[in-house]
Structure formats: structure tokens, C-alpha cells
Structure 1
Amino acid sequence: MIDDRPVWAKRMESERAARSWSPLDAARAMRAHSTCDLPDDQVLARSWHRWESGAVEPKEHRALIAAVFGTTTRAFFPVDQRRGGNAEVQDASGMDTAEIVGRLCASDVDEATLEALRTTVGRLCTQYAYLPGDQLLLEGRAWLHHLAGMQHQRLPHSQRQDVLSHTGMLALLVGCLEYDSGGVARAQAESTRQAALSIGREIGHLGIQGWAHEMRAWFALTTGDIRGVISAADAGLAIASNESVAVQLLAQKAKAWARLGDRQQTEAALDAGRSLLESLPYPENVHNHFVVDPGKWDFYSMDCSRKLADNALAEHLAREVLRAGVDFDGTELSPMRNAEARITLGVVAAREGDLGAALAYGEQALEGDRQSLPSLKMVAGDLDAVLTRQYGGEHQAREFLHHMRTLLSR
């Protein structure tokens, strides 16, 4: 039978099931999280049945329901976030690359050119999620070269600030791509990050500074320097506590605490980040890499649940990440997030004794063209550990582990 209920109704049921709650338990959880008067528990429980059926939408209770399950309203009740076609990657100004570069090299840079530059940088940051990393890295470095050439021009103060702001964001993007790719480029990522941080300090751009510290936290996380993650995140929060990047800094802290096995600190960081994200206006472009979109909170929570061995919740969140990360036609909207979700499903399957499913999820996670090698290798380490521990004598498991280790050794 086809389940044609709304996405949010299906999720209400699956979230409740992942916690082994009855509708009455869910009603009580709503009351515990609410600061307002609610109907009595029996009435709320009956409402849960209607909500889960999809017959009635809980419009006045959407934020409360999201909070009960530790996520954001927009993640639980999503808006359409499909990528557009070619229009998405075209500059709003109508200028092509050659024209923009030509104008940037002129002695007089007009506002239309700066707007075209802003749109171009936004396009590149948006393409981070899905464009092959080596291709995007080449283009990003080329644009950095163009912007570096502008530093010799005499620009009005406001235009110079704009150009430096775009340069800083582009340096952040290039640094991420360098780190993703591994090999020689990865060694350059720290210098690029520091260059972005320096630009952010020079122009007083708190967002650029915050993201530069977030990158340091990410570098530390993927190299196993867990205390370094917390230190970098705290440094970023001290500067950019009111910027959207603070959400991701708190998420990195949560991931670090989960790896230290401290459930209380993990939950505190997740709750702080979720509350901040819930309070922020909905982003204009949720696909920009340097925008923390509400749906990403499930991804952060999934990582923490997997590390803390909350198998049912980790599996549920991984399926939510995949649901949001695959378009209606099967297009992978968020291939890197999806890969980590599939690794999580593989870990849960292995822990629960299903070797075949664990290997199938693992193979699927390794197939993507768009990968962040350090992050994927870090998450795959959990699958490696459980397969080695529980299935070290199985030929299929040994073959897969050899294959996975070879692919991720770049």
C-alpha cells in the first residue's frame, strides 16, 4: 500500500517509534518542553493520532514538536528546496566570467560588477555540495587569482571592503576544497584558512572569522584532535556568537563531546545549537555551503547518535538525512551528507547483526563522485571498527574492509 501521508506526518510516527514512545508518551514530552498551557495529556494523545494520520496539520504546535525531537521546525516541516536548473549557476547580472574579470581589471569598478562578483562567489559556494571537488577547486583558485590582482588598484574604501569580503569567503571555500581533496592540496588548506582569517580580521567581518575557526575545528575533528575541536569552536563562538556560523560551531562541539562519550555535554551543545538555529531567519539560499540550513541539524544529530550508540535514533535520523538529500527524480542534492548517512545505516546494521545490509550501505556510500575524504574517512572508521570486531573472520567483510581502506587512503 502506498503511504501518501505528508512527510511531516510520517516523521512524527517514525520519531516516536525510534524512542519506543506511545502517543501518550509523546503528549507528555510536549508538555515537558512547553512554556504555554496545553490540553490535557489524553486530548493531546488523541491529537497525535490525527496528526500522524496526516488528516490535520499541527500548525500551532510545529515548533514544539520539533523541539521535542531535538530538531528545527524547518527540518521537521520542510519547504521545497530543490535545486534549479541552469538558471541557478548563472550570474544574476547576466555577465559571463570574461566580462566580470574584464571589469574587475578596469580602473573603475562599478556597482553592477561588484554585484556580479557577489553572485559568482555565491554560486561557487552553492556548488560545493555537488560539483566535483577538483573542478570547483580550479575555478575557485582562478577567481582568487583575479581578486588578488585587484589589490593593486585604487578602489574607494567601500568597494575595497566588498572585494576583500568576497575574497575572504572565496578563500574559505578554496580551503575547504583543498582539505576535502587530500594529498598535496590538503597540506595547503591550513594556509588558505589562515589567509581567510586574516582578511576577516582586517575588515572586521565576524562571519568570515567564525567560519575560519569552524574550519580549524573541522580539521581537528577529522584528525582525532578532539580537545582541539572544542578549543577552536570556543574561539569562534567568542567572536561570532550571534552569527549563523555559531550553530555549526556548536555542532562541532557536540560531535567532539560525543566522541569523548560525554552524553550530557553532547546534548547541551546540540540543544544550544538547535535553539539558536530555530531563532534565525530562514536563509535566502539554503544550498550555500556557508549557510547553516535548518535541515542540516538532523545530520549533526545523526553523527552524535551514532557515536553514542543510540542505534534506533541514529538509523531514524540517517533516513531523514537521505529523504531530504535526494530530489524527487533521484538526484543527489547533498551527496556528502548522504554518504555519511549510508555509513551510519551500515554501522547500525552491523551492530544489529545484519552483515549483508552493512556491506551494501557501505558500498553505496563509497560510490559517490563528490566526497569529502577526511570526513568520510572519519565516519567510515566507525564501520571499519564494528566490522573488524564482529565480522573479522568473514571473507566478505575482509574484502570490503580492504576495498574501503584502499579508496580512503588517498
Structure 2
Amino acid sequence: MASSVDPRFGVALRHFRERRGLSLRSLGQLAHRSKSHLHELEAGLKAPMVDTARHLDRVLGAGGVLARLVDAPVDHVAEAGELRARVAASDVSGDVLERIEQGTDDLASSYPTLTPVDLLPLVRRHLAYVGRLLDGRVTLAQRRRLLVAGGWLAVLRATVHIDLRQRTAAAAHVRAARDFAEHAEHAEIQAWCLETRAWAGLTQGDYRAALDLSEQAQRVAPRGSSARIQATAQEARVWARLGDVGAIRRALDRVERLTANLPVPERAEHHYRYDPAKAAAYTATTLAWAGDPGAEQVARAVLGDLDPHGDGGARPRRSASARLDLGLALVAAGQPDEAVALGAQAVASGRVVPSNWWRAVELLTKVEQTGVPEAAMLRDLCTEYTPGQRPPADRTTG
């Protein structure tokens, strides 16, 4: 995704549409635009044209707000460069450190529930606030706390950009997070920067780079830290894509040892605090990708824990991914009908983020190869929801 897409446009469009009580379909009829095109605009998957923004302003009575957002696009790279320059400043001020740290934890805990396009403006705002405070004066101890908060926010922002497939912006903010971490001498944030780059490589099909970065992250991460566990689990997933059964098992064994007797953290939904449920979910993904016969049982247990009532649960993004994992396992087990149903639920939930879309494509490809007629329904859903409105089979699965 190009860095010129301002995520505020999608948030504003959704606000004015919902204020009018309109669905995407009804707005499409009023504005003479397709539902899928409006979905892409709201999700930040497509940059709006100025004429389109002005037309939607008139239809929704938005008073020119949408057009102004298009006329003043966000330069993510410039923002990241400004943050990196501020990290080296020595005179800072601020008396709200506890509130900043609380806000940082709140945002990291919102990652599993908020859509990327809704979370990104919030992270940007908090990160800009930290940047302003780094222009003032505080004690060395206070300055380090600001740097640590900035590091967490920058790596979270990079992760959200990866979810939106905004690669240039993601890379810029990983570099900014690394600078924060180096100045704060914070090894765990440094490790998360490496792990985040590994995840980006995995989503882009660059498995060897992802493997190297996962191993680097494990070496940098403090003993017993969430970053070390996550990087080890990430390594297992990379080996699954590479098809090395022995390496998969060794990596999963290390994850099991690292998570043995792991307590549930105070905020289990926190993106940077590993919890037993995440360990199980990563194992299910790894086994499903590897075509392991045990994948179905693990994936069913994970989905049952995440979404016991079938409504998405408290972590709808994880639930959508769990459905894709179970679907893939079921195809391998010769049960494509149920795999189609699970894939349809995942796609229609709207919780499969752009960086994970290839996983839905992979499931579609697998079920179509079985010849099951129900696959046509899944293809229709994928065509409706896929970024760019291109047929899923034309995309690389990585």
C-alpha cells in the first residue's frame, strides 16, 4: 500500500456514513459507487481521488472534511524521520509519564480488537505526543522512560503499517523504534524490532530473511522475555513454510520449554506480552502450514478457546486466523466442506487484515483443488473482500 493513503480518511468516511445511518451498500447506491470500493476506502486499502472525496462530502454532508484529508496526505516516512531525529535530543520535558505509559499499554492491548485503520491514528497521536516531549527537559531517568514508550509505540505503529501492507512506512517506523531502543538501551524492544521485520518477511514470502531475523531476535531478546518466545514461535512458522519437518519440531519443542508454566499475564490481550493462548495459536498455524496430521485437533482447540460462542470472541482477529488455520488443516484431512464454511466465516468477518490476506487465498486455492462445489461460494466472498478487487487466484500465496 502506498504511503500516501491517509488512514484518517477511512475513519472519517465511516464516521459520516454511520452518522447518516447508512450501510456500505446504501451509501454505494446514493453515491453511485460499488460497495467493495467504499469498503477499500474505509479500510485504508485504496487512496481516494479528490473528485471522489468531494462527491462523498456532498452525499454525506461532511462539509469538505473528506476532501481536505485527500488534499493533505500523510507523509509517514517524513514523520518517522522526524521522530528519529528527536531521539538524539538531550533537553526534554514532561510530567505525564505514567499516563503515556498507560496509554502505550492500552494501545498495545487494543491491537487484537481494533482494525488497523482505526488503531493507526491513535498510535500516531500518542507517538507525536512523545516526540513533542522529547523536545523539552527532564531528568535522565524520565528521558529514558519517554524513549522506552516511544520505542513501543513506534514498533506498534510499524506492525499496523505491515498489517495494511504499507511497507515503506513500516520499514521507516521499525528504524525509528530501533533508534528509540538503542538510546534507551532496551534489549526487548530491539528484539521486537527484529521479530517485526521477520513477520514482514514471512508475509512477503522472503523466508530466508525471515528465518535470519527470527534467529537474530532470539539472540538479542532477554532470557524469559515475550520477545524471545515470539521470535522462536516465528522461527517455527518460517520452517513450516520452508517444509523442514525436523526444524519445525525442534523450534516447537523450544517454544514448549519457554512457555512451560507460563502464567497468564495481567493483560493477556497485550500484543507484546506472550500468553499461553498465543503459544497454542502459533502451534496450530505452524502445524497447519506444515500439513501435520495433528493440526486439526490443535486448531479446533484453539478456535474453541478463542471463540466459544461463534461470535468472534474477545480477539476477533485471532479468531479469523484460527478459522483459516483449521480450514487448512481440514483440507489436508479430507474435509473440504467444513473448510469452506470456516474460510467463509473468516473472510466475511472483515478481520483478515491485508498482510494476512494470502492465508485466505491459500485456503481458497486448496479447497478449489479438491473440486468441492462449495468452493465457488468462498471464491465469491474472496472476490468481494480482497484488497484491490482482484481475483484471489491471481495473487501469489507466498
8 A Cα contact 1:209 1:239, kept in partner: yes
* 2:156 pairs with 1:173: yes
**What is aligned with 1:285?**
267
Looking at structure 2, the residues matched to 130 and 156 of structure 1 have their Cα atoms a distance apart, in angstroms, of: 36
Q: How big is the shift at 1:368? A: 2.3
**What is aligned with 1:118?**
101
Partner residue of 1:155 out of 138, 162, 168: 138
- Going from structure 1 to structure 2, the CA distance change for 1:161 and 1:142 (only over 3 Å counts) comes to same
- Going from structure 1 to structure 2, the CA distance change for 1:226 and 1:405 (only over 3 Å counts) comes to farther
* 2:121 pairs with 1:138: yes
8 A Cα contact 1:144 1:167, kept in partner: yes
**What is aligned with 2:378?**
400
Structure 2 stretches of 5 or more lacking a match? Answer: 1-91, 389-398
Looking at structure 1, the residues matched to 244 and 124 of structure 2 have their Cα atoms a distance apart, in angstroms, of: 40
Looking at structure 2, the residues matched to 125 and 386 of structure 1 have their Cα atoms a distance apart, in angstroms, of: 34
- Going from structure 1 to structure 2, the CA distance change for 1:327 and 1:395 (only over 3 Å counts) comes to closer
Q: How big is the shift at 1:132? A: 2.4
* 2:334 pairs with 1:356: no
Partner residue of 2:248 out of 255, 258, 266: 266
1:282-316 superposed Cα distances (whole Å, 9 cap, x missing partner): 422211001111111111111121122124x2122
Q: Is the deviation greater in 292-301 or in 234-243?
A: 234-243
The number of residues matched between the two structures is 296
**What is aligned with 2:353?**
372
* 2:209 pairs with 1:228: yes
Partner residue of 2:235 out of 247, 253, 258: 253
**What is aligned with 1:294?**
276
- Going from structure 1 to structure 2, the CA distance change for 1:155 and 1:226 (only over 3 Å counts) comes to same
1:358-400 superposed Cα distances (whole Å, 9 cap, x missing partner): 221111011224433212x232243133123222xx6542452
Q: How big is the shift at 1:221? A: 0.7
8 A Cα contact 2:159 2:170, kept in partner: yes
Looking at structure 2, the residues matched to 108 and 382 of structure 1 have their Cα atoms a distance apart, in angstroms, of: 50
**What is aligned with 1:214?**
195
Q: Which residues of 2 match residues 37-186 of structure 1 at below 5 A?
A: 109-110=94-95, 113-182=96-165, 185-186=166-167
- Going from structure 1 to structure 2, the CA distance change for 1:279 and 1:229 (only over 3 Å counts) comes to farther
Q: What is the identity, as a one-letter code, of the residue corresponding to 2:232? A: L
8 A Cα contact 1:169 1:208, kept in partner: yes
Q: How big is the shift at 1:352? A: 4.1
Looking at structure 2, the residues matched to 373 and 329 of structure 1 have their Cα atoms a distance apart, in angstroms, of: 23
Partner residue of 1:305 out of 287, 290, 301: 287
Looking at structure 2, the residues matched to 374 and 329 of structure 1 have their Cα atoms a distance apart, in angstroms, of: 24
Looking at structure 1, the residues matched to 284 and 323 of structure 2 have their Cα atoms a distance apart, in angstroms, of: 11
1:145-192 superposed Cα distances (whole Å, 9 cap, x missing partner): 11111121011111110011101101111111111123xx44311111
Secondary structure of the structure 2 residue equivalent to 1:194: helix
- Going from structure 1 to structure 2, the CA distance change for 1:350 and 1:329 (only over 3 Å counts) comes to closer
Looking at structure 1, the residues matched to 93 and 136 of structure 2 have their Cα atoms a distance apart, in angstroms, of: 9
Structure 1 stretches of 5 or more lacking a match? Answer: 1-106
- The two structures have a TM-score, normalised by structure 1, of 0.67
* Aligned Cα root-mean-square deviation (Å): 2.2
1:189-241 superposed Cα distances (whole Å, 9 cap, x missing partner): 11111110111111110111011001011001111111111100111112115
Q: Identity of paired residues, percent?
A: 29
- Going from structure 1 to structure 2, the CA distance change for 1:408 and 1:128 (only over 3 Å counts) comes to same
Looking at structure 1, the residues matched to 251 and 336 of structure 2 have their Cα atoms a distance apart, in angstroms, of: 33
- Going from structure 1 to structure 2, the CA distance change for 1:150 and 1:177 (only over 3 Å counts) comes to same
Looking at structure 2, the residues matched to 407 and 373 of structure 1 have their Cα atoms a distance apart, in angstroms, of: 10
* 2:185 pairs with 1:200: no
Runs of 4+ with >6 A deviation = none
Looking at structure 2, the residues matched to 374 and 129 of structure 1 have their Cα atoms a distance apart, in angstroms, of: 14
Looking at structure 2, the residues matched to 137 and 264 of structure 1 have their Cα atoms a distance apart, in angstroms, of: 39
8 A Cα contact 1:321 1:337, kept in partner: no
Looking at structure 1, the residues matched to 235 and 277 of structure 2 have their Cα atoms a distance apart, in angstroms, of: 18
Looking at structure 1, the residues matched to 308 and 136 of structure 2 have their Cα atoms a distance apart, in angstroms, of: 45
- Going from structure 1 to structure 2, the CA distance change for 1:314 and 1:119 (only over 3 Å counts) comes to same
8 A Cα contact 2:346 2:352, kept in partner: no
- Going from structure 1 to structure 2, the CA distance change for 1:325 and 1:231 (only over 3 Å counts) comes to same
Q: How big is the shift at 1:326? A: 2.6
- Going from structure 1 to structure 2, the CA distance change for 1:267 and 1:349 (only over 3 Å counts) comes to closer
Looking at structure 2, the residues matched to 124 and 210 of structure 1 have their Cα atoms a distance apart, in angstroms, of: 19
Q: How big is the shift at 1:405? A: 4.9
Secondary structure of the structure 1 residue equivalent to 2:210: helix
- The two structures have a TM-score, normalised by structure 2, of 0.69
Looking at structure 2, the residues matched to 108 and 193 of structure 1 have their Cα atoms a distance apart, in angstroms, of: 25
- Going from structure 1 to structure 2, the CA distance change for 1:399 and 1:363 (only over 3 Å counts) comes to closer
8 A Cα contact 1:131 1:370, kept in partner: no
Looking at structure 2, the residues matched to 265 and 158 of structure 1 have their Cα atoms a distance apart, in angstroms, of: 43
